[in-house]
Structure formats: structure tokens, C-alpha cells
Amino acid sequence: MCNLDVFLRRFNEIQYWVVTEMCLANALSKRSQLLRKFIKLAAYCKEQQNLNAFFAIVIGLSNVAVSRLTQTWERLSSRFRKMYSEFEMLIDPSKNHRAYRMYVAKLHSPILPFTPLLMKDMTFTHEGNSTIIDGLVNFEKMHMLAETLRTIRYCRSRPLARYVNVGGCNEGRLWERALSSIFARFVCDSVGCSLPLCHSVFRLSALHSP
């Protein structure tokens, strides 16, 4: 499976993870708490310019299985309602995702863009235009495809990794800290990313970190 297929599958996994966690919460108080956490998580992804995960979370929250939970949504404060309304406007598909495209145009790389939209752009350009016209290469089609590819290249034109200044930590403590983070991620992946367990594991790993 190519990296693009894995990336697209990850989008669906995040989307349905949100729906699953919301539907598995039986208590109203727990559902409302989860809803706030997911809105915060979407805001963090947007802040970090991870728009692929941002879209996945917001689309998951707009799924009919979640949107019909009226009592849960009614418990949101006005601040969270406003945040979610802004998110909905950003993912609005009208006018060929005009709001999203205008937002992305103002960002600086690195960016994790909304990948399904890029795939749709390339598919429509490829299938809607002939490659050869009257025996000649259709350069207009090539220019349109190149424009999308330039967007992708710009999004990854700078490294995504952000290095943290660890100060006076010695090599042994850094190694211990890395192992605790890897262990926490492994446990969360093994149990299917259950939120309560993830929080417990990461709290445990934090205790062993400097």
C-alpha cells in the first residue's frame, strides 16, 4: 500500500474514531466532556496547520450519529459553540471549498492539507480534460495539474518536525524520556486509542519524564 493510500485511510480512521468514542459514551456528562475535548483537539490541529486531521475531526462531529445528540450539544458553552460554528464555515464545501482555499492561501509551510480535496482536484482535471487534442499535447491540462502539484510541494517545502530545547538533560534521561513516549503510544495503539486509557498512559509516561 502506497503512502497516499495510508494517509487517506488515516483520515477515515480519525473521522470514525471521533464518531465511535462519542457513541460509546453512555453518560451525558461524559459525552459533553468528550465533545469539548474533540473541539479543542480540532482547534489544536488547525493551529498546528494539520488541516487533514482538522477536517477528519470536524466531519466526524458533524456525522449524523453525533449531530443528533441534541442534549449533548445543548450543554456546550457559547465559546465552544462559536468555535464549532467557525470550524463548520471553514469546511463548508460550497463554491468548491472557497472558504478553505482562501484560508490555506494565507498559510506558510509546513502544512498538512485536506488531502481528499487535492485528490478530487487532480481527478477532475485529469478525467475532465483530454491529454491529447488534435494530435497535440493539451498543455492547459498540464498547467492545471502542475498547479495542484505546486501546492503540494509548497505544503512540504519546510520540515514539519519542531525540535524542542531540552536544556541540560543528559543522554541517559533523554533516552528514558523517549522510551516512555514510545511505550505510551504503543499501548494506546494496541487498545484502539481509547481516550481514558490514553490519558492515563500519557500521565504515567509524564511521571517518568524529566
Q: Read off the pLDDT of residues 40-61 as tens digits, 9 standing for 90 and up.
A: 999 999 999 999 999 999 999 9
Compute how many other C-beta atoms are within 10 angstroms of the C-beta atom of residue 39. Answer: 20
Task: Give yes or no for residue 32 having a pLDDT over 60.
Answer: yes
Three-state SS at 57: helix
At 4, list the grid cell.
497516499
The pLDDT of residue 189 is 57
Angle at alpha carbon of residue 14, lines to 63 and 188, rounded to 5°:
130
If you average pLDDT over every residue of the chain, what do you get?
Answer: 85
The pLDDT of residue 7 is 85
The answer to whether 91 and 117 have CB atoms below 8 angstroms apart is no
The answer to whether 67 and 57 have CB atoms below 8 angstroms apart is no
Residues 6 or more apart whose Cβ sits within 8 Å of residue 153: none
- For residues 87-96, give the mean pLDDT: 96
pLDDT tens-digit profile of 169-207?
A: 667 776 776 676 666 665 555 555 544 444 444 444 444
Q: Between 55 and 163, name the one with better pLDDT.
A: 55
Total-model pTM: 0.74
Confidence of residue 122 (pLDDT cuts 50, 70, 90): very high
